[in-house]
Amino acid sequence: MSHRKSVKPIYSMCVQPSFIIGTNNEDGSANFAPITWVSATDGGEGEYLLVISMFGTKRTKQNVIRTGIFSANLVSTDMLPLMDYFGLKKSAESSGKTIEYTVVRGEVLDVPVLDASRWVYECEVVQSVQTGKSTTFFCRIRNVQMDERLDPEDTFDVDLMVLDPVIYSGRYHCLGQSLGKIGDHLP
């Protein structure tokens, strides 16, 4: 039996995959920002919707509101410098630090995509909900670009060890091992 204690509901242990969201600025240049409030939900008719929440008034959020499209680039452990760079870009640039990266365009939507990402969603917003200072976007996934080393047997058979995602819960984490499929642990 585990031992727990009750505390005030100020803690947010939301284990989330890390993404870098790519949008188009008004001048057509690429804009990127790290976002970890990302999930999925049923969109009906066999379709999944990517669900992404953005806090505040950041440019990326304004670009999504203005254009209704974006890329969600999964962050693998080798991309952590990019995650920090985009999250702290103003500080990095003012100290003279820059990181080189390659941007390509989406295959279905005209969105900037990070060439280094092993899994990319190209998304179109179908609905948004405002709560407090956050906007939650429900998005049709128009295309998925996946690492060519992946060969899934079905929609839930994605080898996360190949993707090597960065998991965020206040600190960065990574995966250690695959524990098997659903049903593998029944007695």
134-149 pLDDT tens trace: 999 999 999 999 999 8
Read off the pTM. Answer: 0.89
Is domain 16-173 in CATH 1.20.1530.20, yes or no?
no
Domain boundaries, the chain: 16-173
Name the token pair of 91: 């500080």
Closest CA to 150 of 175, 120, 112: 120
Per-residue pLDDT of the chain (187 residues; tens, 9 = 90+): 678 888 888 776 777 899 999 999 999 999 999 999 999 999 988 889 999 999 988 899 999 999 999 999 999 999 999 999 998 876 656 677 788 999 999 999 999 999 999 999 999 999 999 999 999 999 999 999 999 988 877 767 788 888 999 998 888 889 887 777 778 887 8
CB burial readout 148-159, b (16+ within 10 A) else e = eeeeeeeeeeee
21-38 pLDDT tens trace: 999 999 999 999 999 999
Name the token pair of 165: 């995602």
